Chain A
Amino acid sequence: MNRALPVLTVLLGILAIWYAAAVWMNATWVFDQAERAGTTVTWAEAIPQTMAQERPLLPPPHQVGAELWKGLFGQAVTSKRSLVYHGYVTFKGTMMGFGLGIVAGVLLAMAIVRFRVMDMGLMPWAIISQTIPIVALAPMIITLSSQLGLTARDVPKAIIAAYLSFFPVLVSMVKGLRSPDQMQLDLLKTYGAGEMATFLKLRLPASMPYFFASLKVAVAASLVGTIVGELPTGAIEGLGARMLIGSQFGEPLIMWAALFAAAILAGLLIVVVGVVERLAARRMGVRA
C-alpha cells in the first residue's frame, strides 16, 4: 500500500493531463467542423465530441484502452488484427536479438579483457557504433540482408536488435571480468591455476552481478531495435509495423494501441529479467 500510493498518484496525474490535452487538441477539429457547417458550438457541447472522434489528433485514454482491449482480446490470437499476434512477432524478434546481443557482448568482452590489442582496437569501434542513429542504419541492414538473399524478415530484425543490445552487455562484462582484485588473482596463482581456471573459477562468476545488471538495459534496447526493424515499409507484422500502418493510414487509435502493447511487452520483459536476476543472485549467495 505504501508503494502503491505514490504510483497511483502519478498515474492519476498523467491521466488528468492526458484528458486535458486530448480536449484541447481535438477541439480544434470540432470547431472547424462547426465553422464549415456555419454553426457555432460552445465548449460544453464541444468537449463530449472530443472524447469520441474516429480520427482524433490525440485519442483520450478510454479510447486507447478500448482499442487495446479489442486488439488483445477481440479476436483469435492468430488473427492478423490481434495485438497478441503482432506482440508475439515482436517478442520473438526481441528474444533473437537479445540472445545474439548477449553472445556478441560476452564474446567481445572476453576478447577485450584477454587481449590488450583488442581493448585498444575494438572498444573505440564499439562506442562509435552506438553513436550512429539506429533509424539511419536499420534500412541499410534490411536492404543489405535481402541483397544477401535473406528474405526472411527475422534476420535483419534480430541484427538490428542485437546491434543495440550488445553494447550494455559488453560494457558491463568488461567491467565484471576485470573486477577481481590482485589478491584474488594471486590466490589462484598460488594454486598454479592456468588462464582457463582463472577465467572459469574467478573472472566469470565475479562478473555475474554486472552481467545481470546489464540485462535489463539490454532487453529494453533489444525491444526498441526490433520495433525500429519493423518500421521500414514492407513490414506487415509486429508492433512496429502496426504503429507505422496506424500513422500512415491516419488511424491514430491503431497506432496508440500498438504503442501501449509495446509498453506492456517491455514491462513484462523487464519483470521476467528481474526475476531471473533475483534467482541467480540467490544461487550465488547474495544476502537477502
Chain B
Amino acid sequence: MKDTISQNQPVIEAKGLNLVFQTADGPVQALKDVNLTVAKGDFVSFIGPSGCGKTTFLRAIAALEHPTSGTLTVNGMSPDEARRKRAYGYVFQAAGLYPWRTIRGNIKLPLEIMGFSKADQEERVQRVLELVELKGFGKKFPWQLSGGMQQRASIARALAFDADILLMDEPFGALDEIVRDRLNEEVLKLWARTGKTIGFVTHSIPEAVYLSTKIVVMSPRPGRITDVIDSPLPKERPLDIRDSREFIEIAHRVREGLRAGHHED
C-alpha cells in the first residue's frame, strides 16, 4: 500500500475548492477557489483572521464538511474514502477527552472502534503515551491532569492508530505561552520522529513560522488563500531559531500577507 503511493504524489490536493454554508441568513461562502498541494511529510500551518475558513478547510479534509464544488483528494482518494482507510487523526481545540474514561481508556477509544486486538491496544497506548511524555498517567482521569497534559493526551489519542495525516485545529489555543512553547517543541520532535504530514491551524505568527515547512495565509469574506510560503528554515529547529534573521523575515512576510488580506475588505 505504502509503496504504491509514490513519494511525489500529494497527500492533500485541493483544486478550485468552494464551500458554501446555507444558513438562515442566506448562504455563507466559507471557502472560495482554494488551491493547495501538500506533500508527504509537510508541516502545513493555516493562519488568518477569525472566520476565514481555517477550521472549515481542515474539516473538509477530514470529511466532516463537504465541498460545494471543486475537487479535494487525500492520498489520491476522496476524503470519505480516506477516512475509511484511517488516513488521519484529528485534534480539536478543546482536548475533548471523555470524562468517564481514564487517559488510557481515552486513547483506546479509537482503537476499540477500529477493532484492534486487546494486546495491540495495550501496546499502542504505551507507545503513544511515551511519545507525548505522559508515561505513568494512563490510569488518571482527565480532570486530574492540567490543560496542557490533557491536550497532549488528545494528541496521543489521534496518534494511536497510525494515521499518516495529523490535523490539529488550534490545539494549544487555550494554553499559556510557556506551556505552548514546550508543546510546540514536542510537536516538532514528534513530527521528526514519525514523518507524518501535519495540518495545523493557528492564530499565532511565531507559532506558524516556528513549526511549518509551509505556511498558508488566509483571509476572510469569502475565505480564500492569499499566500503560500515555503519555509527555508532547516528541519532541526531549536527554540532560539526564532531570533534568527530568516525567521523574522518569514514572520514579516506572513504579517504582510495578513494585512493585505485585511485591506481588501
Using a CB–CB distance below 8 Å, which chain A residues touch chain B?
A: 183-184, 186-193, 197, 201-202, 205-206, 208, 284-287
> Measured between alpha carbons, how far is A191 from B63 in the docked complex, in Å?
11
Query: Which residues on the B side are within 8 Å of A287 (C-beta)?
Result: 141, 143
CB distance from A201 to the nearest CB of B (A): 6
- Nearest to A205 among chain B residues (CB) is B100
Known: A197-B113, A201-B109, A287-B143. A190 touches B62 (CB 8 A): yes
CB distance from B100 to the nearest CB of A (A): 4
Contact between chains at B94 and A183 (CB < 8 Å): yes
CB distance from A194 to the nearest CB of B (A): 9
Chain B 37-81: CB-based contact to A (< 8 A → 1; otherwise 0): 000000000000000000000010011100000000000000000
List 10 A-B pairs, Cβ < 8 Å. A183-B92, A188-B113, A190-B90, A193-B113, A197-B113, A201-B112, A208-B100, A284-B100, A285-B102, A287-B143
Chain B 82-115: CB-based contact to A (< 8 A → 1; otherwise 0): 0110101110101010111110000001101110
Query: Which residues on the B side are within 8 Å of A193 (C-beta)?
Result: 113
- Sample of 6 further A-B pairs with CB below 8 A, known A192-B113, A202-B98: A186-B92, A190-B83, A190-B90, A191-B86, A191-B114, A208-B100
> Measured between alpha carbons, how far is A201 from B96 in the docked complex, in Å?
14
Contact between chains at B83 and A192 (CB < 8 Å): yes
- Interface size on B, as a range, is 20 to 34
| CB-based closest 8 A-B pairs | A285-B141, A284-B100, A190-B90, A191-B110, A191-B113, A193-B113, A197-B113, A205-B100
CB distance from B198 to the nearest CB of A (A): 15
Known: A201-B112, A285-B102, A287-B143. A192 touches B96 (CB 8 A): no
> Measured between alpha carbons, how far is A202 from B97 in the docked complex, in Å?
11
Instruction: Pick the contact of A189: B64, B100, B109 (CB < 8 A).
Output: B64
Query: Which residues on the A side are within 8 Å of B89 (C-beta)?
Result: 190
- Nearest to B62 among chain A residues (CB) is A190
- Nearest to A185 among chain B residues (CB) is B64
> Measured between alpha carbons, how far is A186 from B96 in the docked complex, in Å?
11
Instruction: Pick the contact of A192: B84, B92, B99 (CB < 8 A).
Output: B84
- Nearest to B114 among chain A residues (CB) is A191
Query: Which residues on the B side are within 8 Å of A184 (C-beta)?
Result: 96, 98
Query: Which residues on the B side are within 8 Å of A201 (C-beta)?
Result: 109, 112-113
Known: A183-B94, A205-B100, A285-B99. A190 touches B88 (CB 8 A): yes
> Measured between alpha carbons, how far is A183 from B63 in the docked complex, in Å?
14
CB distance from B157 to the nearest CB of A (A): 9
Query: Which residues on the A side are within 8 Å of B112 (C-beta)?
Result: 201
CB distance from B203 to the nearest CB of A (A): 19
Query: Which residues on the A side are within 8 Å of B99 (C-beta)?
Result: 284-286
Contact between chains at A285 and B83 (CB < 8 Å): no
> Measured between alpha carbons, how far is A284 from B102 in the docked complex, in Å?
9
Query: Which residues on the B side are within 8 Å of A202 (C-beta)?
Result: 98
CB distance from B102 to the nearest CB of A (A): 7
- Nearest to B93 among chain A residues (CB) is A183
Contact between chains at A190 and B102 (CB < 8 Å): no
Instruction: Pick the contact of B98: A191, A192, A205 (CB < 8 A).
Output: A205
CB distance from B147 to the nearest CB of A (A): 16
> Measured between alpha carbons, how far is A189 from B110 in the docked complex, in Å?
10
Query: Which residues on the A side are within 8 Å of B94 (C-beta)?
Result: 183
A188, A189, A192 pick with most chain B CB within 10 angstroms: A192
Contact between chains at A187 and B96 (CB < 8 Å): yes
> Measured between alpha carbons, how far is A198 from B213 in the docked complex, in Å?
36
Instruction: Pick the contact of B90: A187, A206, A285, A286 (CB < 8 A).
Output: A187
CB distance from B39 to the nearest CB of A (A): 22
> Measured between alpha carbons, how far is A184 from B95 in the docked complex, in Å?
10
Contact between chains at B92 and A187 (CB < 8 Å): yes
Contact between chains at A186 and B114 (CB < 8 Å): no
CB distance from A206 to the nearest CB of B (A): 8
A187, A188, A190, A286 pick with most chain B CB within 10 angstroms: A190
